[in-house]
Amino acid sequence: MDKIHSISEAIQGRMTRYTHADFGDDASVNSVQLTEGISTSVTHIRYYPGVKLWVVRSTLERILLFLSAFLLMVGLVLAIVINVIEHSLHEARIAQLKFEAEQPCLNSSCVHVASHVLEAMDLSIDPCEDFYSYSCNGWVKANPIPDGKSNWGTFMKLEQQNWLVIKQVLEQPIETFKSKAEKKAKIYYESCLDSNDTVESRGAGPVLELLRKLGGWNISESGFSLANWTLQNTIQLVQNKYNIGALFSYAVGEDDRNSSRHVLQMDQSGLSLPTRDNYLNKTEEHVKILDAYLEYMIKFGVLLGGELNSTRSQMESVLEFETRLANITTPSDLRRDEESLYHLTTLAELQEKSDFIDWRQFFENAMKVVQKKISSKQQIVIYAPEYLGNLSELIKEYQNTNEGKITLNNYLVWQTIRVFTLCLSKPFRDAYKGFKTALTGSDGGEEPQWRYCIQDTNNVLGFALGAIFVREIFNPDSKEQAETMINNVRNAFKRNFKNLEWMDEDTRKVAIDKADAISDMIGYPEFIKDVHHLDERFDNLNIGPGTYFENNVNIIFYNLKKNLEKINEPVNKTTWSMVPSTVNAYYTPTKNQMVFPAGILQNPFYDPQFPESLNYGAMGVVMGHELTHAFDDQGRQYDKNGNLNHWWNNKTVDRFKERTKCVVEQYNKYKINNKNVDGNQTLGENIADNGGLKAAYHAYLDMMESKPEPRKLPGLSLNHKQLFFVAFAQVWCSAFTKESTNLELEKDSHSPAKFRVIGAVSNLKEFSDEFNCKVDSKMNPKNKCEVW
């Protein structure tokens, strides 16, 4: 609108000058005094030369002069008329442009997206008081949590749409599939559906056979012999065949200090419940969860032949052991300093610090499956040395008595068999429901089996399903368009560095270098489109019809073997950790890499037909979020090559930490269900939310700088800058049960959806400017937190 007015004024200015130039000069010529008197000294008579000249003219000359004067007058009149007409046409054109600009966009795409945006909103809410409710109350009201779910949101809704696409393909005849890998996915999916009731007819058989392989379980008649039992052998079976993180977890991953190589890594693990607080906080809510967990354990044991009272007693001992594990486990909010967590040692040194098993023997046993050798000098990164030291003391205490040894075996076996609960018959699955309800507020019972099975197949054979998904639904043009958006967001993020007074110039330069070095992977890895490479990836995975339990056992071992094969091998920094159909994205600090799967590059996050305000508000913020992770409290500790490295000026580090305190304190104050958000636990994600929103918004402004303001969407009075923020908020529209919200507050590194929205917008001055929020309104506090 403003541009149209300025154009009109400029045109009128040019026409005014034109008017003066065309007519002003003629007027001065005609003002020469032709009637000035002429006198002589002889006659002293005043003459009027003009009259005299006219008198002496011939008739023809007088006619010609008259015609000339007449034509001149006509020309002057025509010029005036033409000017008036031109001016009127200009005014009409400006008015037309202004009218058109004020009219909403009424093509089918605009009408469609406007409908969805508007339906999700609650215009009765003041956006300056609660922007999340303003943007999402309509969505929450229209989208109750489906039966069987504990939460429901934009991400999950799109994910289920993706699953529906995959389901339609998986139901086709097997001969129509293009690769062996895709056929394995179909076989696995059908084994999960269990249309022939094979799982039901087998009952407890599969898990009883597993117990015998593990050396038996004292709770059931499965061959347990205390005389033949050793902790070393049982741990090796549990960890090195079934990949169960009981007591501790280990894996092969990129070395944080030398990300070009793979190295063994070990960390604390072994709790069945999501957090240590579930064991240690004796509130009514936590006691309810513990009671439900114990009941689940008891039912499972009885289903395997255990006597009720004996099973209860032994499971109570297992729960007590887990509680003691929780007591020596470090809370997640105290494990955010990557440098303090990293401890590179050798197996020999590990043996000195934690000697409850023979570590060299343990890892030699693990490496047999990949035919690689291990020595006592083998390097390993320990992320929880204090935990492993305390664990060693705890294990020795239990090893001193037969009852303690039985408890240790019961715990290790329970940690293994509980993983397979959903692969067993209905009585086992029903035993789990009560526990799940206490934990999440939903038992999942009403969800169609096909949905669970698609999700399960995606978890275990996601790249095979990815080939199907990309072929069926992904627009290849989206990769190029997403790349452009990423670069725009990156450029906006970098440009903001000059405004950060807390950052010194040297750190600013290397930060720009790191931002430039971040690689991005979009859509899918190329190998999934190559049948040979896809089949090769899953060549050693055995999947059979009607053997759902065994299929899961095979997948666990297959994944373990794939991981161990990487030991001492160079790192391929183009590998993916997320499958293509996933509605999510991630950043990996050791690879300095962002990944945006095909699953999220679609409506409502991204659509080529959408106004750019919506694309940047939704997908652009997701991109900015992942980019900012490279500079959050953990990501900033890694340099541009993905190495844990002290590459910042010390004073800049101190000033950065001061700014992050503001973020911690801000989010600590947010409360839901009478529980506060943990600002330390969620710090990295909160920094990324705030930085991502700011970078994406300025990327949008930069892109639109030379373009006219787009037409408004029909039914919405908002301009497109305001729509940007609405699109951001509506990404997080969601509903949760009380139980799942409480669980999220305890274990999740993300703040609840509402606070992801209001926390970020309340820190961004540009938001308050666009919505004219008064200072000290809830969305425009006087004191704002800014890191990036």
Q: Which residues are catalytic?
A: 626, 689
Q: What would you measure as the largest C-alpha separation in the chain, in angstroms?
A: 158
On the question of a cis peptide bond just before residue 611, with omega within 30 degrees of 0, the verdict is no
Give the C-alpha separation, 513 to 640, whole Å: 7
Place of tokens 């009075």: 717
Burial class, 118, CB count within 10 angstroms (exposed 0-12 / middle 13-18 / buried 19+): middle
124 to each of 114, 135, 136, 729, how far by Cα in Å?
18, 10, 12, 16
CA 553 centroid distance within chain? 31
User: Whole-angstrom Cα distance, residue 477 to residue 523?
Assistant: 10
Q: How many CA atoms lie within 13 A of 618 on its CB side?
A: 27
How far is CA 366 from its chain centroid? 35
Structural tokens at position 692: 């991502």
Which string of DSSP letters, residue by residue, matches 330-345?
PPGGG---HHHH-EEE
Contact (Cβ atoms closer than 8 angstroms) between residue 658 and residue 617: no
The residue ranges of DSSP E strands in 489-633, in sequence order, are 519-523, 586-588, 593-597
Residues 6+ apart with CB under 8 A from 364: 373, 374
The amino acid that residue 362 corresponds to is: F
Q: 414-448 b/e with 16+ CB inside 10 Å = b?
A: bbbbbbbbebbbeebbebbebbbbbbbbbbbeeee
Rounded (5°) CA angle 226-232-235: 95
Cα–Cα distance measured from residue 626 to residue 607, given in angstroms and rounded to the nearest whole number:
20
In this structure, are residues 620 and 699 in contact, taking their beta carbons and an 8 Å threshold?
A: yes
The span from the CA of 741 to the CA of 732, in Å, is 14
DSSP-derived 3-state class of residue 252: strand
DSSP state of 762: T
From 758, 764, 728, select the one nearest 131 (Cα to Cα). Answer: 758
In terms of DSSP bridges, do strands 593-597 and 258-268 run parallel, antiparallel, or are they unpaired?
A: unpaired
Amino acid residing at 767: F
